[in-house]
């Protein structure tokens, strides 16, 4: 017995070579969501706008050629806020009806500086205006403190909890808290975050909350495993977790949250 048709809802595959995409195909991936991220602070908003264009206008071809559905999350990552960032938000608003755009992301907080908080709030408000879910970054350092700040900001702008994926959670208590608050909880299987065994143990402890958990890889320029979702699914299957539960965590929850038209 095997599980296929995986969906990875948090990647940065515009950094990936063609061989990686072929690997996703043979491993059984059905769809990916590629999220905007630039590995340094852009010198101008046009840098990010060109990245958005690259993701939407150029990237789809190589995924479609390999039979993988391709979608994007467009947003300003807290580590790459350009000057005059408002131009980026205006551009995102213009993309609101693009069929590839399924989320605003990756957004969130890294250090919770004043500018990060301001940009995060404005992107949540934009997501409300254009009726899109969000994918929220949490940092490796001070995660619990930053999570509390994220919760407060989301409530301040009255963003609906059920339309947010709070990602990169690494502890059972964090996942439990996020789910109890009504959000989707993202478990990122990536070096420095979780390995698939750690992720599986969290899922097993919270198995009754499986409709609110999502596995992803954050695959991009940093050390990562493109097939992390598939590896986790295989291990969960070996651990005798019900196949139905695995399908939700590794595909169906993402389909529901992002309303992916892939059926």
Look over the chain and give the mean of its residue pLDDT values, rounded to a whole number: 96
* 263 confidence band (pLDDT: 50, 70, 90): low
Give the start-end residues of each E strand in the chain. 6-11, 29-35, 69-73, 101-108, 134-137, 164-166, 184-188, 213-216
CA contacts within 13 A on the Cβ side of 47: 15
The domain limits of the chain are 6-258
Cα–Cα distance between 240 and 120 in angstroms, integer?
A: 40
| pLDDT, average across residues 164-185 | 98
- For residue 254, give the DSSP letter: H
Quick check: 221 pLDDT over 70? Answer: yes
Quick one: tokens of 145?
A: 């403190």
- Number of other CB atoms surrounding residue 156 within 10 Å: 11
Can you name the CATH fold of 6-258? TIM Barrel (3.20.20)
Q: What is the pTM of this model?
A: 0.97
Q: What is the pLDDT of residues 103-113, one digit of tens each?
A: 999 999 999 99
Q: What is the pLDDT of residues 7-43, one digit of tens each?
A: 999 999 999 999 999 999 999 999 999 999 999 999 9
Is the sign of the CA dihedral 248, 62, 105, 114 positive or negative?
Answer: positive
Quick check: 1 pLDDT over 70? Answer: no
| pLDDT, average across residues 229-249 | 96
Q: What is the pLDDT of residues 207-217, one digit of tens each?
A: 999 999 999 99
């Amino acid at each position: 017995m095997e599980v296929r048709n995986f969906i990875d809802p948090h990647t940065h595959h515009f950094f990936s070579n063609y061989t990686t995409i072929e690997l996703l195909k043979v491993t059984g991936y059905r769809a990916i969501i590629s999220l905007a991220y630039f590995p340094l602070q852009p010198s101008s908003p046009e840098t990010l706008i060109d990245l958005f264009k690259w993701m939407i206008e150029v990237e789809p071809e190589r995924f479609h050629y390999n039979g993988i559905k391709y979608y994007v999350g467009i947003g300003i990552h807290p580590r790459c806020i350009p000057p005059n960032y408002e131009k980026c938000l205006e551009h995102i608003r213009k993309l609101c009806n693009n069929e590839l755009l399924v989320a605003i992301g990756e957004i969130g907080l890294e250090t919770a500086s004043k500018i990060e908080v301001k940009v995060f709030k404005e992107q949540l408000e934009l997501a409300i205006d254009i009726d899109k879910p969000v994918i929220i970054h949490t940092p490796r350092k001070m995660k619990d403190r930053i999570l509390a700040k994220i919760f407060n900001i989301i409530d301040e702008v009255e963003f609906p909890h059920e339309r947010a994926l709070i990602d990169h959670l690494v502890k059972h208590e964090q996942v439990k808290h996020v789910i109890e608050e009504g959000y989707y909880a993202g478990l990122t299987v990536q070096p420095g975050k979780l390995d698939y065994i750690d992720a599986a143990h969290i899922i097993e402890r919270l198995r009754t909350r499986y409709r609110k958990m999502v596995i992803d890889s954050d695959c991009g320029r940093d050390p990562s495993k493109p097939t992390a979702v598939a590896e986790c699914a295989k291990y969960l299957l070996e651990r005798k977790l019900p196949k139905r539960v695995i399908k939700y965590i590794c595909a169906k929850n993402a389909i529901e949250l992002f309303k992916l038209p892939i059926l």
